[in-house]
Amino acid sequence: MHLIVSLALTASCTLASAAEPALILKSGHFTCPASQAAAVETMADAADLEHVKEAFVDAYMHGRCGGSLAFSVAITQVRAVRTRGGHTYRCFHELDLASGAADLGESCTLDAFVTTIAAEVAHRRGDYTVAREDAKRLEARCADGGVVIIEKRADHWDRAAVVFPRRLDPPLRAVPADRETALRDGCRGDDYVR
C-alpha cells in the first residue's frame, strides 16, 4: 500500500511539473550568484529606477553581478525571496537544456526579469525586418528579438522560430504561404504557445 501511494505521488508530481509553464529570464536580464543576493536585495528595495541602476552599476563594477544579456534563458527551481524592505526577488537555477537538469548553481535577479513564455508572447508585436529572401528561403530578424526562417515548398511553407531559449524552440510548423502572416506570427512567438 505504501509503495502504491508513493508511486501515485511521484506520478502526480511529474505530471504537475510537466504542466507548469516554462519560466524564462527576459532578454536584457542580469544575474547575481546567490552568494551575492544582498546586491539583488539592495536593487529590489531601491526607492526608484535611478537608484536601481546605481545599485546595479555598483554590483557589476565590483564583480558581484553579471551584465545584461541580450537573450532569454530557461530557468528552473525558482523561489521567491522577500527582502527586509518587503519587496521580492527571485532565485533560480539555469536549466541545462541539453540534459534537462539545473546547472551552474543558484543565481538571483529582480522579479521583473522572470516571466513565462506565454506572458512574453502576449507583449511581442511581431514586427520584423527581412534579412534574406530567395525562391526557397526567407529569413527575418524579429524586432523583439529572435529570428524566423521560412522554407518555401511547392505546396506549403515550413516555419522555424528561434525567439526564446534554444531547445524550447517548437518544431518546424507548416504555415500558409502568406509572407506577412507567416513572419509576423513567427516573430510574435505564436508557435511556442500552440
Tens-of-pLDDT digits for all 194 residues of the chain? 332 322 222 222 332 333 445 788 887 889 999 999 999 999 999 999 999 999 999 999 999 999 877 678 888 899 999 999 999 999 999 876 556 555 668 999 999 999 998 898 999 999 999 999 999 999 999 998 889 999 999 888 999 988 887 667 677 889 988 999 999 999 999 988 87
Quote the pLDDT of residue 2.
Answer: 35
Tell how strand 88-96 and strand 73-82 pair up: antiparallel
Determine contact, residues 81/89, Cβ cutoff 8 Å: yes
Give the model's pLDDT for residue 99: 60
Domains of the chain, by residue range, sit at: 21-119, 125-192
What is the rounded CA–CA span in Å between residue 179 and residue 163? 18
User: Are 91 and 34 in contact, with CB atoms under 8 Å apart?
Assistant: yes
Q: Which residues on adjacent β-strands are paired with residue 1? A: none
At residue 112, the pLDDT reads: 93
pTM of model > 0.75: no
